[in-house]
Structure 1
């Protein structure tokens, strides 16, 4: 790698990290460490697999596929449009972007200025987001060169202080299923869904630097790896700090209050300021990345009918309105939507990473899991419990996995029969 390539990889990796790393990535790991205690290593492993590993694979999957259409069209021709639009709306103006603004106010700004006005704070947040997003051609360089170093410095200060001045010794809480608890909590970052959408803007940014073909795919995969490695290291540090507090802090504390408590206990009053910096930069970089991706996506699928700048402006306005609902309402609203979208996206990522081309495997594994995900998210609790008595894993976070495996095997068998018939 020559110097210019290394520089491009570094800047894009920083930018991708910042696009992934939102406030949710700050508040979930410490609380998971708190509730895991001395078993935090297992929880950290599970969380890192889904919170960092899957996003890496998502970037690699799109890099190998070339386009989102190639990534998903083996299920059926219109499936990329349906799935992509649902994911983009979910991680865009409906859920993720509003949550970044709400968290910036509730944890970042309100911590420092208790009497601040939420309306004014959210409007300013989206004006800044709009400023960075309107010129998509160099937004990646802006994120990588300006905002990400500030975010990383703030995170490193918090983590180093938490390690040097630990809040205690991780307590043995005698919990069961620490790994699965961490694995499922990793879903909450939404980064696996974001990765397959972010990859499009990352590929475009890298191609604008003059890289084509195999080199373009390789550099995209490398940036995904380094961004994921950065996520994994930060997650581990935050989890460890939370685990150290398990002997002195009640698990009834809220996730947001847990982060504030860590900042205050490890660094005193200045901790509030550093935490506000972390939350603000984490949310802002993620909001910019998501807004830019939404603009690119909807301009592409409408073949230019929805202009990039119009979509970006609309996304900011709609997201601002949703942000006024507050974090708790947005999170509650998002849970069933994520349950429906996540499993199918994971299957597509895995199949594409391993370059599986068999369309029957895609159909037989993805469609039943998608139906399963929708059912688990919309059915009343009483009906879900009845189904669970027949299929004991129905209400389990991994209940979709047997369906995917069996479906893939059935799809492969069907493909063999069709080949024989054709012969």
Structure 2
């Protein structure tokens, strides 16, 4: 039985951090801080739950279950096929990867383009180079630990810490006033903002990448793989909390000095310009590009690994080529269209992903019981899918009116109560079935 060296555990933890930390993770905390102002830390407390806690638990759940497909099969084989493909497509070539390719351009390049240069052409050239690099890094998944853990992640962390230290030496001022939903319900708003990082969904993909990385270091025992996945998740999660806290603080002080902005990228632009002048744009561009590149590579790798299991006619390298090319094409749609699609998709599948992770973590109690898994996911999905349809402009009036009476529905958490009810009913029915089987066995034994 081989143990993982501390150095390798640290490198794998840094790789996991970099897989999670894309440009979305870079812009949401400062925007939260700028919007929440004096209520920043109330909102961040619950933001950490959906943006850090569940993603780390997701990595553990997938490692513990032997893959997302195995975990989903506990609900139903048909559900497993549909949900797993939907997760990989949404976080991969249809949404997550194109977003990772277009976001650094829109936030760190486009604002500084001269009028004489076509934005469409510039986006094409940027995404071409970006996805060529991502393609090259994804071709050798065994080398990801060294390339990301030793080079890309430390560089990214250094740049973010450098920006934060700059703000300490040249402070922006005090926290601003809370605005919008943060005035009355910062706790709920912070929880929902964590959805936008997409990390809980991504964790269902990255769990298998981390497990494979651990096994590539010679660890074969499944219990050890799960144990090291937990340790890597804790280290990566701690790093995420530290970096998110830095960014939220920058956003909160930025709100006090500059007032409201449209998004977190503008908030960071204000901060870096204040601290470093015009050269701050270069720093911000480097941070955005590195953050997106590391996430993009992780998504291409995990999706290619999964699609290889669906058919043996297309090799891993060909899947990497297909995903890189298709994602580059969709990235050229522009960030606005991609983000418009992302919200209803996240509303539909995020609650299901959360409850699937909760069930997996509690599986020592449930023993993979399909009744408990099935009813929990059914009740959760019923509400989240109706919510998503409403976000898309498709309202089922009678159903919507019924669901609107649920606790926390107006706050976007209407699925929580049905999820708990489904889990409770599943437990009751499961125990009832066991009791009936036990009675039938005793009756047969007596006869």
For normalisation by structure 2, the TM-score amounts to 0.90
* 8 A contact 2:43–2:186 mirrored in 1: yes
1:402 equivalent in alignment to 2:414? no
Could you list the per-position Cα deviations for residues 306-352 of structure 1 after superposition, in whole angstroms to 9, with x for gaps in the alignment?
32111111111111111112112111111111111110110111111
Q: State the partner residue of 1:150.
A: 155
1:313 to 294, 318, 321: 321
Q: State the partner residue of 1:413.
A: 428
* 8 A contact 1:388–1:395 mirrored in 2: no
2:259 to 238, 247, 250: 250
CA distance in 1, matches of 2:156, 2:234: 19
CA 1:253–1:68: 2 relative to 1, 3 Å = closer
Could you list the per-position Cα deviations for residues 111-159 of structure 1 after superposition, in whole angstroms to 9, with x for gaps in the alignment?
5554471111110101001010112222232111121111111111112
Q: State the partner residue of 1:289.
A: 298
CA distance in 2, matches of 1:364, 1:150: 45
Bigger Rg, structure 1 or 2: 2
CA distance in 2, matches of 1:3, 1:265: 48
Could you list the per-position Cα deviations for residues 147-183 of structure 1 after superposition, in whole angstroms to 9, with x for gaps in the alignment?
1111111111112222332211013437111111111
1:370 to 358, 363, 381: 381
CA distance in 1, matches of 2:353, 2:12: 24
- Decide which moves more: 360-369 or 187-196: 360-369
1:162 equivalent in alignment to 2:162? no
Equivalences for residues 50-69 of structure 1 within 5 A: 50-69=50-69
Q: State the partner residue of 2:24.
A: 24
1:329 equivalent in alignment to 2:337? yes
Q: State the partner residue of 1:36.
A: 36
Q: State the partner residue of 2:190.
A: 182
SS, match of residue 396 in structure 1 = coil
CA distance in 2, matches of 1:364, 1:188: 26
- Decide which moves more: 9-18 or 57-66: 57-66
CA distance in 1, matches of 2:263, 2:404: 33
Q: Which runs of 5+ in 1 are unaligned?
A: none
1:261 equivalent in alignment to 2:265? no
Could you list the per-position Cα deviations for residues 161-213 of structure 1 after superposition, in whole angstroms to 9, with x for gaps in the alignment?
22332211013437111111111101100000111110111111110111022
Shift of 1:276: 0.8
2:212 to 191, 196, 204: 204
- Decide which moves more: 175-184 or 68-77: 68-77
Shift of 1:109: 2.9
* 8 A contact 2:386–2:396 mirrored in 1: no
CA 1:121–1:389: 2 relative to 1, 3 Å = closer
* 8 A contact 1:40–1:239 mirrored in 2: yes
SS, match of residue 256 in structure 2 = coil
SS, match of residue 178 in structure 2 = coil
CA distance in 1, matches of 2:60, 2:361: 7
Calculate the aligned-residue CA RMSD, in Å. 1.9
* 8 A contact 1:163–1:241 mirrored in 2: no
SS, match of residue 93 in structure 1 = coil
Q: Which runs of 5+ in 2 are unaligned?
A: 439-447
CA 1:178–1:164: 2 relative to 1, 3 Å = farther
CA 1:382–1:205: 2 relative to 1, 3 Å = closer
Q: State the partner residue of 2:445.
A: none
CA distance in 1, matches of 2:242, 2:220: 31
Q: State the partner residue of 1:88.
A: 88
SS, match of residue 78 in structure 1 = helix
CA distance in 1, matches of 2:325, 2:66: 32
For normalisation by structure 1, the TM-score amounts to 0.95
Shift of 1:388: 4.9
* 8 A contact 1:376–1:395 mirrored in 2: no
* 8 A contact 1:170–1:243 mirrored in 2: yes
Shift of 1:100: 1.1
Aligned length: 421
Q: State the partner residue of 2:248.
A: 239
* 8 A contact 1:112–1:273 mirrored in 2: no
1:138 equivalent in alignment to 2:143? yes
CA distance in 2, matches of 1:276, 1:53: 28
* 8 A contact 2:105–2:123 mirrored in 1: yes
- Decide which moves more: 137-146 or 28-37: 137-146
